[in-house]
């Protein structure tokens, strides 16, 4: 289906139009202590939410990581906050994404090498520079049926979001160029 046909179809049937469900921002430091606390502070300043710390799943002696040791921090943004953060971070990657950034369900992710490239963020020598991963989940209205607690049900194959539809939505809603 072409881009114009999809946009027309979404206007006729609003339940088919995708939306941004959530955005997950992850900074993986690889060690606990002061570097992790600095990463938590950076995420808190960027998103306005308190990050959760994530623990190592296994011990890696070469890197000095023990199982259960906190080594990264994560923030999940939903609704308008997610959209605002994505729009704030997109200039860092020049509003361009590869087709390889999308999975088969229409979700996409990209990396930011240095957080100081984000507009409005200043370099602070005592904090340093951190890279981050931004993962964005797209869904359609009605996906709650799959995740709810009572009477879960399957989503029909025609209602599942495809990569092509996600690309059209991202171009239209966020103005991203697909390379």
* Bridge partner list, 177: 96
pLDDT one-digit tens code per residue, 89-129: 999 999 999 999 999 998 999 999 999 999 988 898 898 99
pLDDT one-digit tens code per residue, 129-158: 999 999 999 999 988 999 999 999 999 888
Q: Which two tokens stand for residue 172?
A: 């239209």
Of 99, 115, 107, whose CA–CA distance to 26 is shortest?
115
Distance CA 64, CA 114 (A): 24
H or E stretch at 178: strand 177-178
Q: Is the pLDDT of residue 1 over 80?
A: no
Share of the chain above pLDDT 90, in %: 70
List domains and CATH numbers for the chain. 3-178 (3.30.1440.10)
In the block, which residue shows the tokens 């009605």? Answer: 142
Q: Which two tokens stand for residue 169?
A: 């939505």
Q: Is the pLDDT of residue 47 over 80?
A: yes
Bridge-based pairing of strands 96-97 and 19-28 is unpaired
Q: Which two tokens stand for residue 171?
A: 């171009």
């Amino acid at each position: 289906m072409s881009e114009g046909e999809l946009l027309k179809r979404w206007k006729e049937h609003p339940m088919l139009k995708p939306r941004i469900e959530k955005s997950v921002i992850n900074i993986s430091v690889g060690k606990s202590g002061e570097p992790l606390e600095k990463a938590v502070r950076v995420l808190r300043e960027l998103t306005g939410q308190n990050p959760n710390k994530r623990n190592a799943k296994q011990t890696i002696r070469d890197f000095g990581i023990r199982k259960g040791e906190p080594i990264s921090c994560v923030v999940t943004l939903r609704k308008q906050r997610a959209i605002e953060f994505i729009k704030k971070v997109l200039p860092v990657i020049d509003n361009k994404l590869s087709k390889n950034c999308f999975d088969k369900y229409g979700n996409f992710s990209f990396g930011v090498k240095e957080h100081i490239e984000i507009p409005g963020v200043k370099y602070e020598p005592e904090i340093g520079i951190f890279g981050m991963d931004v993962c964005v989940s797209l869904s359609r209205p009605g996906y709650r049926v799959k995740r709810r607690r009572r009477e879960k049900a399957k989503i029909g194959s025609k209602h599942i979001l495809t990569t092509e539809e996600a690309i059209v939505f991202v171009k239209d809603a966020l103005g991203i160029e697909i390379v």
